[in-house]
Amino acid sequence: MVMLPGITKSNSGIEDISWNVLGQTYVPKQRSESSMAWHATLPKGTFIPPHIHPTQDEFIYVLEGRFDLQLNGVETYAEPGDLIRMPMKIPHGIWNKTDSTIKCLFWVAPSRRLFDLFWALHNLGPDANPADVVAVSAEHEVDFLPPEED
């Protein structure tokens, strides 16, 4: 797939796609073999547990709200205007621990199988079986880490 020139308008995604991924809204803005970008809305209390992309670099540009994150074992945070860099094979997880919604732009390079993963996770709902989410994600080159022991 080749990236075509053009504009993806602010209130829509490519092909009018909008995914509900475990309570978060992902709207793809660009997709090619070399990269993929999507706008994400993360309501309060939502998160993405620690995981690794073995074949992709991932980035998040924060537009609104505050992310709490774990990046390579270090707890930190990012606010509007900050760019989060998550190199491939580096564990990372993100949380919205605030009372506000987070809006941001994610992108990965290369695209690999992430577009297909979002379709696989679309509309599973908040009661999705975590083991199923982990298995489907692994099939699409995203490896979740086991929960930390208390």
Give 50's pLDDT tier (boundaries 50, 70, 90): very high
pLDDT in tens, 88-135: 999 999 999 999 999 999 999 999 999 999 999 998 876 788 889 999
Given this model, what pLDDT does residue 11 score?
A: 84
Q: Please choose, from the candidates 73, 77, 71, the residue with its C-alpha nearest in 3D space to the C-alpha of residue 96.
A: 77
Amino acid at 81: G
pLDDT for 28-43, tens place per residue?
Answer: 999 999 999 999 999 9
The CATH label, of 3.40.50.11900, 3.40.640.10, 2.60.120.10, 3.40.350.10, for the domain at 18-144 is 2.60.120.10
ω into 110 cis (within 30 of 0): yes
In sequence order, what DSSP letters do the residues of 65-94 get, joined into one string? S-EEEEETTEEEEE-TT-EEEE-TT--EEE
Decide if 30 contacts 21 (C-beta within 8 A).
no
The Cα 39–Cα 9 span in angstroms is 11
Q: What's the pLDDT score for residue 66?
A: 97
Distance, CA of 93 to CA of 47 (rounded, Å): 8
Residue 150 reports pLDDT greater than 70: no
Whether residue 59 is predicted with pLDDT greater than 80 in this model: the reply is yes
Beta bridge partners of 109: 57
Give SS3 for 135: helix
Domain ranges of the chain: 18-144
57-62 average pLDDT score: 98
Tally of CA atoms within 13 A in the half-sphere of 39 that contains its CB:
15
| CA 31/CA 75 separation, integer angstroms | 30
Mean pLDDT over all residues of the chain?
Answer: 93
